Amino acid sequence: MKIIKRNGSEEAFTRDKITHAIEKANVTVEEKYRMTDVQIHRIVDAVIMSCEELNRVPTVEEIQDFVEDQIMAHGAFEVAKNYITYRYTRSLVRKSNTTDDRILSLIECNNEEAKQENANKNPIVNSTQRDYIAGEVSRDLTDRILLPPDIVKAHEEGIIHFHDSDYYAQHMHNCDLVNLEDMLQNGTVITGTLIERPHSFSTACNIATQIIAQVASNQYGGQSISLSHLAPFVQVSREKIRRSILEELETIHAPISEEVLSRLTERRLREEIRRGIQTIQYQVVTLLTTNGQAPFVTVFMYLGEAKNEQEREDLALIIEETLEQRYQGVKNEKGVWVTPAFPKLIYVLEEDNIHENSKYWYLTKLAAKCTARRMVPDYISEKKMLELKVDRNGEGHCYPCMGCRSFLTPYVDENGKPKYYGRFNQGVVTINLVDVALSSGGNTERFWQIFDERLELCHRALMCRHNRLKGTLSDAAPILWQYGACARLQKGEPIDKLLYGGYSTISLGYAGLYECVKYMTGKSHTDPSATPFALEVMEYMNAACRKWKAEHNIDFSLYGTPLESTTYKFAKCLQHRFGIIPGVTDKSYITNSYHVHVTENINAFDKLSFEAQFQKLSPGGAISYVEVPDMQNNLDAVLEVMKFIYDNIIYAELNTKSDYCQVCGYNGEISIVEEHNKLIWKCPQCGNTDQNKMNVARRTCGYIGTQFWNQGRTQEIKERVLHL
């Protein structure tokens, strides 16, 4: 068995260390109060048993808590008092150098928590380490100076989660929809260089990747671009290629028919589209931004955004090439085609592509083929979005999420026109619903009282987020605020007007609805008798957001949080505060947002239908998924799921597996096995357990992760049941 030390590193569990610690406390009291060797031996046995019952690697703090409990249980109160006093004294000493210790452990690459914090960050490379080190300093400033102590304490105890506190010291926002159309059509500036309107599709793609990199380096969340903003440049290239061919033929006085000219033009145009899309795919995959990872970018594919029929046809060409290239994948260092994490792709299901006799059905079949092999694209239903995303003019709109799942709310500008691109999210604070339930002891009246208190805590934390952005000058991130990604403000102008009136959103996240309902009702929230309570909880949080919005003129919005490392943190905190409660705290993870528990047997269509009602109540963003086996030989089933998504739910994805073992060449599913009370990844063919010698891609929480996960998330992945 292993333990996690305070600096995040792992070491082998040593029984003798516990024994020595108890003995040291034991000799500090009078002999009449001391425990016998037999009692100390029993305490150590009980502590080890408690650690094993966690079914994960315990932390030093957890072990010491178990020791305290056992000393007290044996009636050695004087020994317990001295043991507690010693712990407290040592904690005061550690407070002065905790940040130093964590930074040193990052540099030495032995911080297990950092290694598994983000499934798309490699903690060994210098750029990631630099970001993590800066994050530790920022987090230290945030905890000691910038945030109120009660919010810091609630975050540490897992009562709430103050997202991305490592970026809070800087005036940075969360995620956005990049106004690529404005930047390409009207020009932009990148690191002091004027970038004018491109004169070809391939140049437009190259500029787009530079914009993506710049935006990623000036925020900490996801971003999205639309392929429709690149589509006008297909016609620009078409005309340019046509002129070039005519000029070539004129030099040799060769006549050409219109039919042949068009055929040659389209052939060369397709090649340029191929090169342009390849630029986007490979640039995004290979770029490392200042936060040490590839840009977290989503590419939106929506035929309905085209402004005319020619542009629609050209957009279809771009979408087709994008899907073809993603289906192929990218080569790893061994030259094997594997699944990349980014860019994330979203394909909109609409009337022109969802039926077999639809004009663009061929694109939908290609999307299904790509999903079965590479896990993307994900799917948005135009039908459901137009029904549910309605602005104050009474018009429905279909638009992308910002990154993996964060959605803007409908907005109409001062001219009465809908606006989505160029808008952003200010930040997220998540409430732990499981802790609300457990703190109530199952008493319904007490539950709502505690819920109110926790929501107000989240409200104050969100206002800290908002106020941190207030007063930020556009000069802080020119690409965002001055040169079109989010706005065209003047130099020296504050961004404040963008924080109010619904231009941007700010998100109340939530986690663990399943466990919350399970504890309060004794049943899963999928049980018809328990579902009303689950919906009531959702409505209650939405009511709080509406109240705060009216109070501040800020667009608070309820958000289905994509817990990654936090799912493990919350689980550990709950076990620490409330112990192991079967069906509630007996896992090393809690459930994302409203999702059906990963172990629950339910078919894909029932799951999507059930979760649709919770997506409707998560206007700030949410995504549902179905877990499927290898579907490459059953594309008809994939298409049936896609049709169901179109008719029933805003946003969903299919999760499959896409792995490769570099040792033996196995390209099936890499297994998760338990060894020494720890979950590890293991090739079922050759037994390879070296993560550096395998490529594993799994959907983490709306996006694909490729750098492995902490123990909580790994257990959640291991326990997922198939829905198809």
Over the range 221-237, which residues count as b (16 or more CB within 10 Å of their CB) and which as e? bbbbbbbbbbbbbbbbb
User: Is 109 inside any structural domain?
Assistant: no
Catalytic residue among 564, 627, 653, 716: 564
Asked which of 365, 388, 411 is the last residue of a domain, the reply is 388
380 shares its domain with 450: no
| Assigned domain for 279 exists | yes
Name the catalytic one among 105, 237, 381, 406. 406
Q: Answer yes or no: 399 catalytic.
A: no
Q: What is the pLDDT of residue 82?
A: 84
Question: 3-state class of 289 per DSSP?
Answer: coil
Span of 142-146, 534-538, 590-594, 705-709 with lowest mean pLDDT: 705-709
For residues 443 and 553, membership in a common domain is answered with yes
Catalytic pick among 132, 168, 559, 625: 559
Residue 486 located in a structural domain: yes
Taking 90 as the threshold, does the pLDDT of residue 253 lie above it? no
Q: What is the DSSP letter of 476?
A: G
Residues 237, 163 contacting (CB under 8 angstroms): no
Does residue 489 come out as left (phi exceeding 0), alpha (psi in the -120 to 50 range) or beta? beta
Single out the catalytic residue among 404, 545, 573, 631: 404
Residue 602 lies in a domain: yes
Tell me if 108 is assigned to some domain. Answer: no
The answer to whether position 264 is within a domain reads yes
Measure the CA–CA gap between 623 and 649, rounded to whole angstroms.
9
Tokens matching residue 104: 């040193």
State yes or no: pLDDT of 8 exceeds 60: yes
What are the backbone dihedrals phi and psi of residue 349, each rounded to the nearest 5 degrees, phi first? -90, 125
**Is the same domain home to 383 and 428?**
no
What is the pLDDT at residue 358?
97
Indicate if 564 belongs to the active site.
yes
For residue 439, give the nearest of 332, 337, 512 by alpha carbon. 512
Phi/psi of residue 18, nearest 5 degrees: -65, -45
Per the domain annotation, does 91 fall within a domain?
yes
Q: In terms of domains, do 337 and 442 share one?
A: no
Catalytic site includes residue 406: yes
Residue 195 has pLDDT above 70, yes or no: yes
Same structural domain, 239 and 335: yes
Active-site residue, selected from the candidate residues 51, 398, 401, 402: 402
Instruction: Tally the C-alpha atoms within 13 A of residue 480's C-alpha that lie toward its C-beta.
Output: 29
Of 174, 353, 624, 688, the active-site residue reads 174
Q: What is the pLDDT, as a whole number, of residue 175?
A: 95
Over residues 445-458, mean pLDDT: 98
Q: What is the mean pLDDT of the chain?
A: 91
Per residue in 37-58, pLDDT (tens digit) is 999 999 999 998 888 888 778 8
The yes-or-no answer on residue 402 being catalytic is yes
pLDDT higher than threshold 60 for residue 412:
yes
Residue 651's closest CA among 385, 354, 301, 424?
385
Give tens-digit pLDDT for 675-694: 888 899 999 999 999 988 99
- pLDDT value, residue 337: 87
Q: Is 334 in the same domain as 216?
A: yes
CATH label of the domain that carries residue 482: 3.20.70.20
Q: Is the pLDDT of residue 145 over 90?
A: no
Catalytic member of 172, 175, 385, 463: 175
Per the residue annotation, which of 222, 427, 502, 702 is the catalytic one? 702
Percentages of the chain per state (helix, strand, coil), in multiples of 5? 50, 15, 35
How confident is residue 284, by pLDDT bands cut at 50, 70 and 90?
confident
- Is residue 157, in this structure, part of any structural domain at all? no
Structural domain that includes position 538? 424-639+649-658+697-718
State which of 96, 117, 137 marks the end of a domain.
96
Average pLDDT over residues 218-247: 96
Question: Within this chain, do residues 362 and 500 fall inside the same structural domain, yes or no?
Answer: no
pLDDT for residue 111 is more than 90 = no
Domain count, the chain: 3
Catalytic residue chosen out of the listed positions 7, 26, 118, 425: 425
Residues 607, 521 within the same domain? yes
Q: Which of 523, 541, 519, 543 is nearest to 531 (CA)?
A: 523
pLDDT in tens, 570-613: 999 999 999 999 999 999 999 999 999 999 999 999 999 999 99
Note whether 453 and 445 are within 8 A (CB). no
The reply to whether 190 and 322 lie within a common domain is yes
**pLDDT exceeds 70 at position 93:** no
Residue with the bigger pLDDT between 11 and 79: it is 79
At 155-184, the pLDDT tens digits run 999 999 999 998 898 899 999 999 999 999
Concatenating the DSSP letter of every residue in 577-590 gives HH---TTTTSSSS-
Same domain (yes/no): 27, 90: yes
Task: Check if 174 is active-site.
Answer: yes
Give the residue from 388, 411, 444 where a domain finishes.
388
* 648 annotated active-site: no
Same domain, 531 and 596: yes
Asked whether residue 342 carries a pLDDT value surpassing 90, the answer given is no
pLDDT-derived band at 650, boundaries 50, 70, 90: very high
**Distance in Å from the first CA to the final CA of the chain:** 36
Q: Is residue 7 located within the same domain as residue 69?
A: yes
SS3 assignment for 112-174: HHHHCCCCCCCCCCHHHHHHHHHHHHHHHHHHHHHCCHHHHHHHHCCCEEECCHHHCCCCCCC
